[in-house]
Structure 1
Amino acid sequence: MSNAIEVRGVTKRFGRQTAVDNVSLSVPAGCVFALLGENGAGKSTLIRMLLGLATPDAGELQVLGRSSTADGEMIRRQVGYVSERPTLYDWMTAAEIGWFTAGFYGDGFESNYRQLLASFQVPADRKIAHMSKGMRAKVVLSLALAHRPPLLVMDEPTSGLDTLVRREFLESMVDQAASGRTVLLSSHQIGEVERVADWVAIMHEGRLLELSRLDQMKATTRAWTVTMEGAASAPPPMGGAVLAHSRHGRQWQLLVRDADLDVDATTAQLMDRSGVVAVDSHTPSLEEIFVARIGPDGSPPPASEPEPMPTPWEDERLQQL
């Protein structure tokens, strides 16, 4: 199976509001796939449809080769799920909630669960009610992994956790992908995502704005700062697609996508232009790319749109031509 998840032309509306707007993407098996977007971008709605908990108004979703619409219950049995606000029985101990959950799965669940608790240093005899938020999160992650699912779905799993617990969660994601499992991570913690993600998708107001391997996204994007003699009314012409631009006094800041961009040659060309006094550039962080695509005020900035990047199945097809 080359793709753990496939989403094609999916739309979901709630009354007059479109939560997911004609989204198509695929998640290659064995990777950490990050789904980024501000609150209300449609991430959680898309995840609910993937798990068969909501029905799309249009389009198709497949998880682990099964239809999310027709086989939702079977998908949920195969997937490990960690939500932002998991519900646990506070009166149970960590061991008891594992015993209880084991009844929904096959042999080996409880022993796997206890091994995971031990690896996370969670006391099996402590009641959930007496645990910190970070320890409760580790119990939830252990429950999600104990049946050894091929796909782990995490919806804002590190929200509100302290730094050390977040680090453990990130390390566990990398370990899961290294073992051949797929991790779908929905988050707004962009700095953390950048440390672990193989693929990144950016959503805004239900639409998919970006879909790319993270290393490719960063390798083909450049942040430029051009200082002018005076306050120029327009930014200097740039090769490639300008994703965003803004002016601060005499400086223009631009984010440009161009896979074939020669940085040295472009710098020299800009310095030769009348009125340009300094040019600086660097490889942008994922957060810089995210803000450029979404906009600092939550709306996409005016900019020339790049050519749409191929989805993973299109990328494979192009390589065969």
Structure 2
Amino acid sequence: MMNAVISTDQLTMRFRGCDALMGLNLNVRPGTVFALLGENGAGKTTLIRILTGFQKPTSGSARVCEFNPLTQPLEVRRRVGYVSDNPTLYDWMSVGQIGWFTASFYPDGFLQNYRESILRYEIPEDRKIRVLSKGQRAKVALSLALAHDPELLILDEPTSGLDPMVRREFLESMIGRAASGRTVFLSSHQISEVERVADTIGILHNGAMQACESLNDLKGSMTELTISMDDSLVTLPELPVPAVAMLEEHRGRQRQVIVRNFEPSMISAIEEAPGVVAVRMRSMTLEEIFIAHTRRGFGDRSSPPGPMFDLADGGEPNGGSSGDAVIASGESR
């Protein structure tokens, strides 16, 4: 995508004994809140370090705001605001001093924007950084990150350890950010928070992107089926096209199957299959979808990297099989 704010091409990062990223392809459109979900160790922070020019990838490439963060890091940082889960601030400075100091690296208008933000958050400029609460420090870090009005705001677990009210204020401000045409890239494993603010969702597991599409499309395309059989050894019938069985678990005579592109009209065709006693379907929450994509077997590292994930068209996850979970044969993608 020519106008992608973030784009990666077969991005790979290998450390000794660890593949942090495996051929990652990603496009993030402008004016959206993109949420990257993943467990600790999934590769989220490694990706962010590459996007901000602090980590050289093993192979592949990335572009941020149409610049290469490896060869043009200053151009990228001029256009990006970044807030981590534990912002590094000079504790001996006051709130006002750190704004004045940071303003020296940016064009005119930075300090005025910073002061307006601090005033809005009701944090006194003469208060020392070292005496601020974690929530206040997060607000100072966000004010610093936004004062130059960046095209892209990157948040790496920004609400970790914050109280619920501060988290809500912090995240809801991101919606207004995207509404103004700017882009927010939010890395988190807090599913409920992400669901309130994100336009699009990417699920990263074991260094590979398992799903990447709009929140509504992702939730609308996933269904959990509970199929009761008259014999625990009976083979599960094939699903009608275009439904695809992504993950299957056996529980005695019941099969729990996570299915993509399932329609209620398909239930009758399954019920008519030999050995089927009853079929129940249920929509899945984002948390359940996330768990399904990150369970053993679903995101097997041995699976080859998937195709380009384009937020305009959505993507399909890779599959694998191991442990108690069984990927439906022939449906691994």
Same fold, TM-score > 0.5, yes or no: yes
Aligned to 1:12: 13
Distance 1:277 1:119, change over 3 A: farther
Distance 1:4 1:231, change over 3 A: same
Aligned to 1:104: 105
What is the Cα deviation at residue 230 of structure 1? 5.3
1:251 alignment partner AA: Q
Residues 70-96 of structure 1, C-alpha deviation per residue, up to 9 Å, x if partnerless?
A: 101221122100011111122222122
Matched, 1:58 2:59: yes
Which runs of no fewer than 5 residues in structure 2 stay unpaired? 315-333
Aligned to 1:132: 133
Q: More deviation in 194-203 or 44-53?
A: 194-203
Q: Is the 8 A contact 1:292 1:301 kept in 2?
A: no
Matched, 1:311 2:314: no
C-alpha separation in 2, matches of 1:85 and 1:116: 20
Aligned to 1:292: 292
C-alpha separation in 2, matches of 1:272 and 1:313: 37
1:148 alignment partner AA: D
Matched, 1:267 2:270: no
1:272 alignment partner AA: E
- Quote the RMSD (CA, aligned, Å): 2.3
Aligned pair partner of 2:245 in 237, 242, 245: 242
Q: More deviation in 133-142 or 121-130?
A: 121-130
Q: How many residues are matched?
A: 307
C-alpha separation in 2, matches of 1:159 and 1:230: 48
Aligned to 2:124: 123
Q: TM-score scaled by structure 2? A: 0.85
Q: Give runs of aligned pairs for residues 1-321 of structure 1, distance below 5 A.
A: 2-229=3-230, 231=232, 234-239=235-240, 240-258=243-261, 261-263=262-264, 265-295=265-295, 299-300=297-298, 311-312=309-310, 315=313
Percent sequence identity over matched residues? 47
Residues 26-78 of structure 1, C-alpha deviation per residue, up to 9 Å, x if partnerless?
A: 11011011111111111111111111111112111111011111101221122
- Specify the SS of the correspondent of 2:5: strand
C-alpha separation in 2, matches of 1:294 and 1:155: 20
What is the Cα deviation at residue 141 of structure 1? 0.7
Distance 1:227 1:292, change over 3 A: same
1:312 alignment partner AA: D
C-alpha separation in 1, matches of 2:299 and 2:211: 15
C-alpha separation in 1, matches of 2:32 and 2:217: 15
What is the Cα deviation at residue 237 of structure 1? 3.4
Which runs of no fewer than 5 residues in structure 1 stay unpaired? 317-321
C-alpha separation in 2, matches of 1:293 and 1:206: 13
Distance 1:234 1:155, change over 3 A: farther
C-alpha separation in 1, matches of 2:122 and 2:255: 51
Aligned to 2:330: none
2:102 alignment partner AA: T
C-alpha separation in 2, matches of 1:249 and 1:299: 20
- Specify the SS of the correspondent of 2:45: helix
Q: More deviation in 47-56 or 11-20?
A: 11-20
C-alpha separation in 2, matches of 1:256 and 1:20: 27
- Specify the SS of the correspondent of 1:200: strand
C-alpha separation in 2, matches of 1:81 and 1:243: 36
